[in-house]
Structure 1
Amino acid sequence: MPIQHLSKDAILKQIIESTPAPKIAFEYVEDPARNRIYLALLESIVSQQISVKAADSIFARFLALFPDGYPHPEQLLAKTPEELRTAGLSGQKGRYLQSVAEFALQNPMTNAHLDPMTDEEIVQYLLPIKGVGRWTVEMLLMFVLDRPDVFPIDDLVIRQKMVLAYGLTETGRPLYKRLHEIAGAWRPHRSLASRYLWRWKPGGGTREAL
């Protein structure tokens, strides 16, 4: 059982016992007309460096630009920068969104294509898209593809929570090395451990939606 395995780490065991369980991943039904991987990448770009509330509002306005509420790649590429700005998107984000659309037209982005790949192979497959970094793909792996052993070390909150929980004093590369060592004991359930860390608050309470 994942919880039993993770609880072998005494510190993580305390975090798990004091933190509500993360929400169960939603079971998606594949819809050939609406690629959820493609859509998740678009939403992640819209969400970059703005609040959740603002991102939700802008993404809703972005979807409303399309007749059926879905940004088919051909339709997205046909949008002018001015049209995309009416949804609240910056010029740069508009270009990033169209980069995802270009990739989607030239490369398969379905579960059937990605499922046989390892996590790292998926990262390398999607990184050429402008505006998509490793962290973005790791979030896709965890929350869309439901991969069980992702450790998003580039996530600032994950690093901060681990430094606090484990009383770490290292910085820079030594810190990254130590974090990987600690998380290595959580394999093959690092995604679940990370989700507990996101929700954990030493003073009580939880982060929602993770």
Structure 2
Amino acid sequence: MTPDSAAALDHLAQDPVIARLMAETPDPKVFNDYADDVYLALLESIVSQQISVKAADAIFTRFRLLFSDGYPHARDLLLKTTEELRSAGLSGQKIKYLQSVAEFSLVNPIDRAHLDPMTDEAIVQYLIPIKGVGRWTVEMLLMFVLDRPDVFPIDDLVIRQRMILAYPEQTNGLTGKTLYNALHQIADAWRPYRTTACRYLWRWKP
């Protein structure tokens, strides 16, 4: 365990609900399948939208096989025809989104050297102009590729559902903006380690 993770667990344990949840839940595994490759992670996130993990993996594998070295470099991606990209199992809308990522990356740097000095919110605002990339997508990137420690993806349905189950007294009967405000207030106690808390929430089995 790194000093930062130990500090995160010690801090989060001050919340008795999270302390119980962590005690009941195996340590979340931290995966970074893209070795800090933000561009590739954005492409994969678009392919994965609204389909199962198994289907997304199969389509993304076929998509990468369209390229001679297995990597969809932006200029090579933009040279592919719609028919070629459809052959991987991509919808017309997702093809446009993938092309949008490629076009953006040719004009705007999205490597770690450029993004690391930026705040979390600055990165969100920098990337959401890309078609098909919303706040939730960027927050997943912040958590799983850029390793940002204090991300709270409130738009994630599982996070909201698990928090409602874990904190019934604070959330009972609340909806809409009132619920969001209550969840933000709960999560404020987790700062500056909200990413770790959310990893446990995802893995927790109520």
Task: Give your verdict on TM over 0.5.
Answer: yes
Equivalent in the alignment of 2:16 = 10
After superposition, residues 1-210 of structure 1 pair within 5 angstroms as 1-26=7-32, 36-167=37-168, 168-169=171-172, 170-202=174-206
Letter in 1 for 2:85: L
| 1-structure distance, mates of 2:49, 2:90 | 11
Q: CA 1:95 to 1:28, structure 2 compared with 1: closer, same or farther past 3 Å?
A: closer
Letter in 2 for 1:176: Y
Letter in 2 for 1:150: V
Q: CA 1:2 to 1:120, structure 2 compared with 1: closer, same or farther past 3 Å?
A: same
| 2-structure distance, mates of 1:28, 1:197 | 23
| 1-structure distance, mates of 2:70, 2:24 | 41
- Cα RMSD (Å) of the superposition? 1.3
Aligned residue pair count: 197
| 1-structure distance, mates of 2:47, 2:31 | 22
Q: State percent identity of aligned pairs.
A: 70
The Cα of 1:4 is off from its aligned counterpart by: 1.0
| 2-structure distance, mates of 1:162, 1:28 | 29
Letter in 2 for 1:15: L
Q: Any idea what the Cα deviations from partners look like across 1:16-48, whole Å, max 9, x if unmatched?
A: 000001114559766xxxxx1000000000000
| 1-structure distance, mates of 2:54, 2:41 | 17
| 2-structure distance, mates of 1:27, 1:132 | 19
The Cα of 1:191 is off from its aligned counterpart by: 0.2
| 1-structure distance, mates of 2:132, 2:83 | 19
SS at match of 1:145: coil
Unaligned runs of 5+ in 1: 31-35, 203-210
SS at match of 1:146: coil
| 1-structure distance, mates of 2:166, 2:118 | 33
| 1-structure distance, mates of 2:143, 2:8 | 15
The Cα of 1:120 is off from its aligned counterpart by: 0.1
Is residue 158–residue 198 contact of structure 1 (8 Å, CA) maintained in 2? yes
Higher helix share: 2
Q: CA 1:166 to 1:112, structure 2 compared with 1: closer, same or farther past 3 Å?
A: same
| 2-structure distance, mates of 1:155, 1:103 | 25
Output the TM-score relative to the length of structure 2.
0.93
SS at match of 1:89: coil
Output the TM-score relative to the length of structure 1.
0.91
